[in-house]
Structure 1
Amino acid sequence: MNRLKMAVVYVLCIVTIGILGFAFIEHLSWLDAIYVTVTTLSTVGYGDIVPVTVAGKIFTIFFIVSGVGTAGYMLVLILSIIVEGHIKDQFGRRTMLQKIAKLNHHVIVCGAGRVGEQVIEGLKNSAKPFVVIESDQEKANSLQSDDILTICGDAKLDKVLQTAGVKRAAILVSALSDDADNVYVTLSAKSQNQSIIIAARADEEEAESKLKQAGATMVISPSISGGRQILAAIEHPLAYDFLQNMFYNQKFDVDMAEIRVCEKSKLVGERLADFWAKEALNLTIAAIKRNNTFLSTSLETETIAARDILIVIGQPMSIRKLITLAET
């Protein structure tokens, strides 16, 4: 791009010199001087206005040699930039699609508007691989420039979801601005992957039931969630501030996690209090989800069962250790 800028500056300088030269040496009007300069640089040379003085002829010789060469160089440079940019775009798209094709158990975010943007920011700070589908070319280009795997297309189309790897994905976030579009995306995703978890946005209250019927695992209304957060911030400001830091501040040394206990895990059959002490886990257990029921009282005396989901709060290092123990 710097070469192109230099070439443009050179051409402008040559044009200015040509106009001034023909105007003062050949005593042409400004319009005729511009006319002769342009026809000379473009190598058209109609011949209706020609230099008649010796000084004018010498000036024209040097002007043709320097000016035509510079104009030609700029034209070649522009063509090379266009071709090079096209090749880069094609190569970059192919590389991106190859990366997406290698993803498994990833997250697909449909829509990079105000809601989707917040989801993307959170995923960037997590270890979860994700792909964004955005219909706006400018937004898609901006995301791609930030090294985010982004497909520019309509998320309602099956082929676009397939390109994003919907059949291999673990989670899909439908954050489009239109409720009907979110219903359509949910139906399309579920038809291709029955096990996928779908979190869908709903602006209208009546859209929630339709999204549930379409197969959405959870439906979030930005207006309702926003109202609840405002209420929580008013009634429990310190607790709200703590939770905000825990969820969104990466430097905060406390985190929350949902940990599923596999059937062969060392945790199965262990009492929580005994296991916590034995493994020196600096964690607080908030709840256990067992058979679609939340257990939240006398958890220390509970015996861990296979397929339990432990909801814990504590230091990230202890959480990572518990995840390893739950999986092995």
Structure 2
Amino acid sequence: MARQDELRSLRIRVLIPLTAICIAGLGGTVGFYVLWREQGGTWLDALYMTFNTLATVGFKEVRPLDAAGRWLTMAVGVTGIGGAFFLFSVVMDYLVTQRFLDVRGRRRMQNRIDALSGHYVVAGLGRVGRRAAEELREAKAAVVVVDPSEEVEALAGERDYLHLQGDATEDEVLERAGIRRAKGLIVTTNNDATNLYVVLSARILNPNLFIVARADEEDSVPKLMRAGADRAMSPYAIGGRRLAHLMLSPGAVEFFETAMRRGNQALNIGEIVLVSGSRMVGRPLAELSQETGATLLAVLRDNTAIAAPKPDLVLATGDRLLALGTDEQLERLEKMLLAPR
């Protein structure tokens, strides 16, 4: 909205001097023609005299000027030349101001990014990238969007995302996005070779980074995994499976879509990792359900999923718990799992 108001103000400021120049040109041409008509003057003579006056060329008068002609010449000069100088000042003021604001805005944006830690970086602001950033925003996670296109300023600005215009394949751009301090990276460009390069660069800069990459071709999935991605998937394959599941089990798909949608106050699915030193290490799973009210769906241990775990299952360091519940229940569960002994 502020940008639109600024452009509207600029149009008004430019229109005023342009109108003055047009009035000077038209009025001068008509005026000189009227003054010289009885002397055999033509419209071309009048237009030429007006042009000489506005352009400050300084050639002699086409025909002799009386007092009225001299007053007309001064009026044309003041109006036209004044309008031209005013137009020049408006344009220069706008260009200088925009350049100054752009530099200040980029510096301010970089300072905000430098203050982040444990955030998520989204490389690529296409349809997939925008959706991923929206989901992270709904989960109240800090997000930095990186894209080389000029549209990133407008797209990210509309949604108030922290953003950088740059190529994520360059280490310097990833460094500016705070990749060493980031918790995760989502690579969503529509080019598998670019995604591969971004994953490889990010993995070198931050070995502990959790990376999820998009693959346009199914054959690219294992390559992205070998390059350092923790997860790689094709949106088309996921979409195809989702459509098939909607046909076979629509109720189940709708339930999980509701549970996985961030911002839903009724139901959510969360994943919490049991860290070393937690007071829940060595304790039975039943204590979590009793104190938090969340439903434990599965425990991921040593790359093995324990579905519908029994209440007497003893928790161990590194266990990843998938739980179903409200935001409040999941928050209580996370606090219990992260609480020290």
Is TM more than 0.5 here? yes
Deviates more, 1:302-311 or 1:227-236: 302-311
Secondary structure of the residue that 1:300 maps to in structure 2? Answer: coil
Cα displacement (A) at 1:248: 2.7
Aligned ranges for residues 260-275 of structure 1 at < 5 Å? 260-275=273-288
Contact 2:122 2:145 in 1 (8 A): yes
- Structure 2 Cα separation of the partners of residues 31 and 300 of structure 1: 100
Cα gap change, 1:282 to 1:297, in 2 (>3 Å): closer
Corresponding residue pairs, total? 326
What is the Cα-based RMSD across aligned positions, in Å? 2.2
Q: Are 1:96 and 2:102 counterparts?
A: no
Does structure 1 residue 324 correspond to structure 2 residue 330? no
CA distance in 1, matches of 2:322, 2:96: 54
Q: Which residue of 1 aligns with 2:12?
A: 6
Relative to structure 1, is the Cα distance of residues 21 and 66 closer, same or farther in structure 2, using a 3 angstrom cutoff?
closer
* Residue 194 of structure 1: aligned partner: 207
Asked if residue 19 in structure 1 is aligned to residue 25 in structure 2, the reply is: yes
**Distance in 1 (alpha carbons) for counterparts of 2:44 and 2:298:** 84
Say whether residues 1:240 and 2:253 are aligned partners.
yes
- For residues 219 and 31 of structure 1, do their structure 2 counterparts lie closer, same or farther at Cα, with a shift above 3 Å needed? farther
1:272 and 1:303 in contact (8 A); partners too: yes
Letter in 2 for 1:204: E
Q: After the TM superposition, which residues 205-220 of structure 1 pair with which residues of structure 2 at under 5 Å, given as runs?
A: 205-220=218-233
More displaced 10-residue stretch of structure 1: 231-240 or 295-304: 295-304
- Distance in 2 (CA, whole Å) between partners of 1:287 and 1:268 is 17
**CA displacement, residues 50-75 of structure 1 (integer Å, 9 cap, x when unaligned):** 67243332223233233322321221
Query: In the alignment, is the contact (CA less than 8 A) between 1:26 and 1:51 conserved in 2?
Result: no
SS at match of 1:52: coil
**TM-score, normalised via structure 1 length:** 0.91
2:161 counterpart of 1:158: no
Query: Which residue among 298, 309, 315 is the counterpart of 1:287?
Result: 298
User: Which among 311, 314, 318 is matched to residue 325 of structure 2?
Assistant: 314
Partner of 1:299: helix, strand, or coil?
A: coil
| 1:288 partner SS | strand
State yes or no: 1:129 paired with 2:129.
Answer: no
Q: 1:20 to 1:186 in 2, by over 3 A?
A: closer
Query: Could you say if the C-alpha distance between residues 7 and 104 of structure 1 is closer, same or farther in structure 2, counting changes exceeding 3 Å?
Result: closer
Distance 1:51 1:142 in 2: 62
Q: 2:315 aligns to what SS in structure 1? A: coil
Of the three residues 76, 80, 83, the one matched with 1:67 is: 80
CA distance in 1, matches of 2:288, 2:19: 80
Question: For 1:199-242, what per-residue CA distance to the aligned partner results, in whole angstroms no more than 9, with x for missing partners?
Answer: 11112222112111111111111111011110111111122222
Q: TM-score, normalising length from structure 2?
A: 0.87
Classify the secondary structure of the residue corresponding to 1:26.
Answer: helix
Pair 1:13–1:290, CA change in 2 (3 A)? same
Task: Answer whether contact 2:29 2:50 (CA < 8 A) is retained.
Answer: no
Q: Which runs of 5+ in 2 are unaligned?
A: 1-6, 34-40
Alpha-carbon offset, residue 81 of structure 1: 0.9
Query: How far is 1:292 from its partner?
Result: 2.0
> How many angstroms apart in 1 are the aligned matches of 2:273 and 2:43?
82
Single out whichever of 71-80 and 263-272 deviates more from structure 2: 263-272
Taking the aligned partners of 2:28 and 2:79, their CA distance within structure 1 comes to 15
Once the 2 structures are TM-superposed, how far is the Cα of residue 129 of structure 1 from its aligned partner?
1.2
The answer to whether residue 266 in structure 2 is matched with residue 253 in structure 1 is yes
